[in-house]
Chains A and B, each alone.
Chain A
Amino acid sequence: MTHLMSDVSTMTVRGLRLVSRDVDAMITAVLLPVIILLMFVLVFGGAVDIGTEYINYVTPGVILLAAGFGAANTALAVEHDMSSGMVERLRSMPMNAWTVLSGHVAASLVKNLATTAIVFGVSILMGFRPEATALEWLAAVGMILLFVGWITWLAALVGVLVRSPDAAGGFSFFVMFLPYVSSAFVPVDTLPGWLRGFAEHQPVTPVIETVRELLAGDVSGVTDPAGVAMLAVSWCLGLGLVFAVAAGLAFRARR
Chain B
Amino acid sequence: MAAIVTADGLRKSFGRRGSTSPPVLDGLDLELEEGAVLALLGPNGAGKTTTVRILSTLLQPDAGRATVAGFDVVRDARRVRETISLTGQQVAIDDKQSGAENLTMMGRLAHLPRRVVRDRVAELLDAFDLADAASRRVAAYSGGMRRRLDLAAGLLTRPRVMFLDEPTTGLDPRSRQAMWDVVRGVVADGTSVLLTTQYLEEADRLAQRVALVDGGRVVADGTPAQLKHEVGEAGVELTFASPSDAGRVAPALTAATVDGLRVRVPTDGSVAHVRSVLSAVEATGVAPEHWEVRAPSLDDVFLALTGHVGQERTAGATGVAA
Contacts and interface: CB of A to CB of B under 8 A. Distances in A.
A18 B84 CA distance: 27
B91 A14 contact: no
Interface in B11-33: none
A3 B111 contact: yes
B97 A10 contact: no
Contacts of A94: 78, 81-82, 110-111
A86 interface: yes
Nearest to A100: B109
B322 to A, nearest CB: 21
Nearest to A99: B109
Contacts, number: 65
A65 B109 CA distance: 35
Given A10-B109, A93-B110, A255-B58, A18 B94 contact: yes
A95 B106 CA distance: 10
Interface in A1-53: 3, 6-7, 10, 13-14, 17-18, 21-22
A192 interface: no
Interface of A is mostly: helix
A88 interface: yes
- Give chain B's interface residue range (CB within 8 Å of chain A): 20 to 34
Interface in B79-93: 81-82, 84-92
Interface in A29-82: none
B143 to A, nearest CB: 15
Given A10-B108, A88-B86, A93 B92 contact: no
Q: Which 10 A-B pairs have the closest CB atoms?
A: A85-B90, A85-B92, A92-B86, A89-B92, A94-B81, A10-B108, A21-B96, A92-B56, A85-B88, A86-B92
Interface of B: 53, 56-59, 78, 81-82, 84-92, 94, 96-97, 101, 105, 108-111, 137, 153-154
Interface of A: 3, 6-7, 10, 13-14, 17-18, 21-22, 84-86, 88-95, 255
